[in-house]
Each structure stands twice: as C-alpha cells, then as structure tokens.
Structure 1
C-alpha cells in the first residue's frame, strides 16, 4: 500500500520545520520539505499539506510568490487535501478558505494559554505566539480557540489553522534571530526588543519537552480527524 504523501511548505530556503518531521515520523509518515522557491507539487499528488510560518504578511501581494501560493492553496482546498496551517500558514489558509487577514491592533508575543471553545478540542498549551497580523475564521469553519488578542485555531473540513507555533524548537528560533539580524525589518525589531530574543530562546529550550508533547497531541488530533 502506498504511503500518504505529506509535505511542509517553507517560505525561505533557510527555514526549518522544527519538531514536525520527528512527530510525523512517530505517526509513520515522512514529511517532505518544499521551499516556496521550488515548484509546488500538483494538488492531486498530495495527501497532507502543512503550510509553515513566515515573517511576511499573508496579504502583502508585493511578495513575488504570494499570489501563486494562494492560488495553489485554493486548489489544494478544492480537492479536499487535509491541510495544517501554522501562524502565517494559518492566515494564508484562512484566505484560501474565504476568510481575511489583517494587521492586528497589538502584536502577540510570548507563551500563552489559549481559551478553548469546543469540548473536543482541549489543546490549551501554553503555546508560543509571535505575530503582528490576525485572521478572521473562514466562513463555515469552527473556531476552536482564541485569546483576548486574536483567534487562535479553527477547523474547516479536514483542514486546521493554528495561529501559534506548536512546532517551535531552539534550532527553529535560531533561524528567526538570523533573519532579524540580516534584514532591515528585523534590525528595527531588535533595536527595540532589548533582551527579548535571548529570553525567548531560553524559554523555548526550557519548555521544549513539554511543548513537543503538546504538539504531538495536536498533530494526533489533526491526523485523527482526516
């Protein structure tokens, strides 16, 4: 029997998928990593898709790749391919399903226990949030969790979006700090961030085992629903 094809879309060649390959492997699934700089696979060739995060905005159509990815993701959803969107990925998935993405009034940065809204979805975290934008849940979706600042998780059909980063680990966070050091936007953030990056990395390391266990349960929930 052919194994399901699962892919994770990353939005820079230097991005990494955190704990996801290991956790998919525990479920007997290989997770192939596809950069947005590559040709995106035909939707009919896919069984599971993960759309990863990005420091970009999911409504910034100045990005050379955004329109093509959004059109591709709409085609993926039209075929009913189960999709997990994470942070930026949850926002782009919301757009593909008919929702909207907007600049939020306040950034949400740090470890947050979310308010769960459905009895069958008990993934309170705490989860690491790091976002300036937010989504509106797609029409016909079920809002699963929120915080005072933003919707946090939704499900529509076999697809699910989560605003937070369940997959975060120290190696992944290091790619964030490298981006901040080497981009104008990142340097502006670092200029006002004080010791936040150092504190966040230490917290990620301290919480890594518990966060991985929480991510495992979240992934089992996503896969179990498909």
Structure 2
C-alpha cells in the first residue's frame, strides 16, 4: 500500500475525515512529527501525496522553532518536483513561504464557522463542492496569520475577514487557509488544546463553538469529503 505523508505539528490536528477517503483509495497514512522527527532525512518526492497540517505557530517563526527551516526546504523540494501537495492552515502558510510569498500576522483572529466566497477559478475547482453545499460554503476557520499569493498561484477563495483563503499552484498543489477536514467530536480535542487562545478571544466560547460544530458538521463534512475526493482524482490519486 502506498503511503501518504502527513506532516503534523500538534497531535490533535490530523487528517480527520480525510483519512478514511485515502484508505478507501488504497492509500495508507504515515504521520511525521514535524517538530521532532528528522525532516532532512525524509524523501520529499517519493510519497504519492504530501499533506502539511495545521498548528498554533507562525510560518515565519523559525528563530523560535528551528525545525521550520527543514520543513520549508522539504515543502519547496516537493513543490518544485510538481508532486501532489496539500496544505491546511499553517500548512498553507508554509507552502506560500516555500514559494517565496510573505506570511505575516493578520489584523484579527478568525476562529469559528463562517462561509467562503469562491472566485471564478474556485468555482471551477473541486472547492465548488464546498461552495455549493447545504451550508452555503461554511467551513471552520482557526488562524490569525495570512499570506500574500505566491507568484504563479491561482486565487480560489476568500472570506469576510481575509482575502486569501485558498490557492492552487501548478497542476497538483493546493493550499487551504481554512479547515475542510475537521468537525464533530474530534474538535473537542481542539477546544482543550486551544483553550488559552479561545479564552483570550473576545466574544468566543467553547459553548458557542460546540453549538456551531453540531449545527454545521453534517453538511460541512459531506461537502469536505466530496471536495477532497474530487481533488484527489484531479491529481491522479
């Protein structure tokens, strides 16, 4: 069985609902601890898919987190080889940096369930399954940083708070600022892991996040799975 490589920064931000879709397609998953594993020793090109997952640090903080240097080199090598690559949240920011774009703190944290607005290119992409869902494009947002579009990238989506929410690059690289993979009871781990961030955000509470999660999970999960399946097919997986 071929193995997808997933770079994970915190244990509770994993592939979630996406993992079962990979399994159905005969793809196993190998999680790499980006923080402590030897990233320089990893073959960046061989795996059929690289997924770079989320995390609560900045893509520009390699002075505090030196592993980011090796991770950026791994991602750049993968992208330059035109191999299928998906970045989610921090992963999208790292992809942007690896492609030479600026990543920086945004004006406000975007945490919770809110809709996307797809560009014309986004409506032609697999993201259309999210934009046309019963939840009208609602997804989970959990970030405070943003990025400029890399040279050659195709802008796919924005939100009310952030212009750059998704981009594609080349034929097989996709970066998502938002989370299309997460929902349901799995987010209870997020509510604990990000407790300090939730508590510091005015007007945000675990109770409100939990209520919205229960409301949106069924339709959002279905849309996210349809999107991911269509994207895997588009890159030959």
> By the TM > 0.5 criterion, same fold?
yes
Distance 1:191 1:95, change over 3 A: closer
Structure 1 ranges of 4+ moved more than 6 A: none
Distance 1:14 1:108, change over 3 A: closer
Partner of 1:202: 211
Partner of 2:33: 35
Q: How does 1:85-96 map to 2 (within 5 A)?
A: 85-96=87-98
Question: Greater shift after overlay, 153-162 or 105-114?
Answer: 105-114
Partner of 2:134: none
Report whether the alignment pairs 1:56 with 2:69.
no
Partner of 1:152: 165
Partner of 1:102: 104
Give the TM-score normalised by structure 1. 0.88
Report the 3-state secondary structure (helix = DSSP H, G, I; strand = E; otherwise coil) of the residue aligned with 1:127: strand
The correspondence for 1:83, drawn from 82, 85, 88, is: 85
Q: How does 1:1-226 map to 2 (within 5 A)?
A: 3-13=1-11, 15-36=13-34, 37-40=36-39, 41-61=42-62, 62-117=64-119, 118=121, 119-121=123-125, 122=128, 123-124=130-131, 125-150=137-162, 151-157=164-170, 158-181=172-195, 186=196, 189-193=198-202, 196-226=205-235
Question: Greater shift after overlay, 191-200 or 149-158?
Answer: 191-200
RMSD across aligned positions (CA)? 2.0
Q: Deviations over 1:14-36 (max 9, x none)?
A: 54332121122233322222211
Task: Name which structure has the greater RCO, CA cutoff 8 Å, separation 6+.
Answer: 2
For residue 60 of structure 1, report the CA deviation from its aligned partner. 1.0
Gaps of 5+ in 1: none
For residue 128 of structure 1, report the CA deviation from its aligned partner. 0.9
Distance 1:210 1:27, change over 3 A: farther
| In structure 2, C-alpha distance between the alignment counterparts of 1:135 and 1:209, rounded to whole Å | 30
Report the 3-state secondary structure (helix = DSSP H, G, I; strand = E; otherwise coil) of the residue aligned with 1:207: helix
| In structure 2, C-alpha distance between the alignment counterparts of 1:71 and 1:28, rounded to whole Å | 28
The 8 Å contact of residues 108 and 144 in structure 2, kept in 1 or not, is answered as yes
Aligned residues: 219
Question: Greater shift after overlay, 89-98 or 27-36?
Answer: 27-36
Q: Deviations over 1:54-87 (max 9, x none)?
A: 0111111211311111111111112222111001
